[in-house]
């Protein structure tokens, strides 16, 4: 019997099949081979009891991600907020690099329109709207959700973003029968309190699946190298003209077209700073 892992908790994997939901363990061979089943995996199971079984085969993945531990994602829906909590541009750019590396589409959802200043939202739109779909909404007030729905239809989408940006509230607005626990913003830290403790797939009545994932504070660009990173920034990769050096990394090389584009505000300074930070991290990781 085949099915899809829609949730994993404490070594148990919940596999949705045409015959119902089965609680499964993974065969020991996976551990021996260093393979961990992921939410999103298409698997084959052996039924051993009343709606229980063992996973004995994992079909090839289209893609996979370590953090969050999910597979077969077609699109990332990255939720951010302009305020409460304030947007960390570097973390958003990390999410976008992760999507680009895996040739996965990305949609940016600017939530909390009800508590954000228009100029803060406009700043985000100015940087990203020409490269990625950007949707402004208020999940709390249930306004603007309809603008997101066409992007979710008939696709496997991972809902991602840092804690406190309202991912769970947004998920609950997508469908009446979604009723996940929501949290508040910590008054002490100004950051969100994470309410999602495991990855789970929710199916939409209109067609499509949404992965709800735990909040992030940071994560690594695991397989990326310097030459690949530039390709994960569309505005850099598609810039007209050539740098003086073929292997220019756009850090401090002379006659660099990318740095010139930043000076002319063709490329945003915040995106360029994110790029430099990640180049530095890649180089430091290479040394150690």
Domains defined for the chain, CATH in brackets: 2-58 (2.40.50.140), 64-212 (3.40.50.300), 226-284 (1.10.40.50)
Two structure tokens written together for 154: 């008939």
Mean pLDDT of each 10-residue bin along the chain, 288 residues long:
94 96 93 92 95 96 85 95 92 92 94 95 96 97 96 94 89 79 44 59 93 63 78 91 92 95 96 95 80
- pLDDT at res. 87: 94
Q: What angle do CA 84, 85, 90 make, to 5 degrees?
A: 150
Distances (CA, A) of 173 to 45, 77, 79, 124, 182: 33, 15, 14, 23, 12
d(CA 133, CA 148): 10
d(CA 14, CA 23): 5
**What pTM was estimated for this model as a whole?**
0.87
- pLDDT at res. 285: 81
Peptide bond into 68 cis (omega under 30): yes
Task: Give just the sign of the alpha carbon dihedral 245, 250, 254, 258.
Answer: positive
């Amino acid at each position: 019997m085949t099915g899809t892992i829609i949730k994993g908790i404490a070594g148990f994997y919940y596999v949705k099949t045409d015959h119902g939901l089965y609680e499964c363990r993974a065969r020991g061979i996976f551990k021996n081979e260093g393979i961990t089943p992921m939410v999103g995996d298409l698997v084959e199971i052996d039924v051993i009891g009343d709606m229980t079984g063992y996973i004995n085969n994992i079909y090839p993945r289209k893609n996979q991600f370590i953090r969050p531990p999910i597979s077969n994602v077609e699109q990332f829906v990255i939720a951010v907020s302009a305020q409460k909590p304030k947007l960390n541009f570097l973390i958003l750019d990390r999410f976008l690099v992760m999507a680009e590396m895996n040739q996965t589409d990305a949609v940016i959802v600017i939530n909390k329109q009800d508590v954000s200043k228009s100029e803060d939202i406009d700043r985000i739109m100015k940087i990203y709207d020409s490269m990625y779909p950007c949707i402004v909404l208020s999940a709390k007030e249930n306004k603007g959700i309809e603008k997101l729905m066409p992007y979710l239809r008939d696709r496997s989408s991972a809902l991602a973003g840092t804690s406190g940006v309202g991912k769970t509230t947004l998920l609950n607005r997508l469908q009446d029968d979604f009723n996940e626990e929501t949290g508040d913003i910590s008054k002490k830290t100004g950051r969100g309190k994470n309410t999602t403790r495991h990855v789970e797939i929710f199916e939409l009545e209109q067609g499509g699946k949404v992965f709800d994932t735990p909040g992030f504070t940071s994560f690594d660009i695991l397989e990326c190298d310097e030459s690949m990173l530039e390709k994960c920034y569309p505005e850099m990769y598609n810039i007209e003209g050539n740098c003086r050096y073929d292997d220019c990394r756009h850090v401090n090389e002379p006659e660099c077209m990318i740095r010139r584009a930043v000076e002319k505000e063709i490329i945003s300074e915040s995106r360029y700073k994110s790029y430099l930070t990640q180049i530095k991290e890649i180089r430091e990781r290479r040394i150690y």
